[in-house]
Amino acid sequence: MKLRSKFEKDGDLKFISHLDLMRAIERAMRRAQIKFSLSKGFNPHPLLSFGPALIMGATTHGDYFDVVLEDEIDPEKFKDDMNRTLPNGLKIIDCYRVDDKDLLSDRVVEGEYTIIIDLLDYGKDIGDIIERFLNRDEILAEKDTKSGKKMIDLKKYIEDFKILGIHDSKMNLYLRLKISEGSPGPIHVLKAVDDFGGHMLDLEKMKIDRKNLILN
């Protein structure tokens, strides 16, 4: 059977890599004595799949993973058993059964993010800058790919981008992006805005939280 779990990752665990996240979930299943299926071949590994990887240091309150299990188990029991063995900072908030042929990678269509970032230049109208940034016919940005650097049009991916609030030097942003193979992440959008506005954002000090992955 295949289960799809929605989970949170925050606290100190925001600094673990995608590979370490997979290992943490595998260890939790072993501690909970949940029998999971393994891939075939010389290096068998748990049949685990995740949504798009987060950058190191980002938190999430709505990511997903799929796992194939050997035995039937009630999704609610899987959630409870896992939450007893997962490390602090990792928590499953929902779990349900999906068809074996239902691929998580085919389901993820958008990601919702909130970003807290420091303003370096208080004299600029950041709201006006973002409005003019979004109103351009195209928003070109450079992205690293497996075949080298590539120019992409961010406008094709940005579904929503707005200021939620500004307090002292900190700005709270909301960003919704389309997700597909090779799509950009929040960092690409923030860097493009910063370049467009004349470097008024502290890109070294920001908190990115993926609030939700939207599935079709």
Question: 85 Cβ partners below 8 Å, 6+ apart?
Answer: 27, 28, 29, 31, 32
> Are 133 and 182 contained in the same domain?
yes
Q: What is the CATH number of the domain that holds 33?
A: 3.30.70.580
For the chain, what is the mean pLDDT?
95
Any bridge partners for residue 63, and if so which?
Answer: 7
Residue 172: phi, psi to the nearest 5? -105, 120
Does position 196 have pLDDT exceeding 80, yes or no? yes
Task: Indicate the residue among 102, 137, 161 that finishes a domain.
Answer: 102
Q: What is the mean pLDDT of residues 178-200?
A: 94
- Rg of the chain on CA atoms, in Å: 19
pTM: 0.92
Residues in Cβ contact with 20 at an 8 Å cutoff, skipping those fewer than 6 apart = none
Digit-coded pLDDT (tens) for 122-154: 767 999 999 999 999 999 999 888 788 899 999
**81 band by pLDDT with thresholds 50, 70 and 90:** very high
| 30 Cα distance to chain centroid | 25
- φ/ψ of residue 150, rounded to 5: -145, 140
**What CATH number is associated with residue 135?**
3.30.2350.10
Quote the number of domains for the chain: 2
Q: Dihedral through CA 200, CA 166, CA 89, CA 104, nearest 10?
A: -80
Asked if 46 and 26 count as a contact pair (C-beta separation under 8 A), the reply is: yes
Residues 139 and 205 reside in one and the same domain: yes
Q: 160: how many CB neighbours lie within 10 A of its CB?
A: 11
Q: Which domain holds residue 134?
A: 108-215
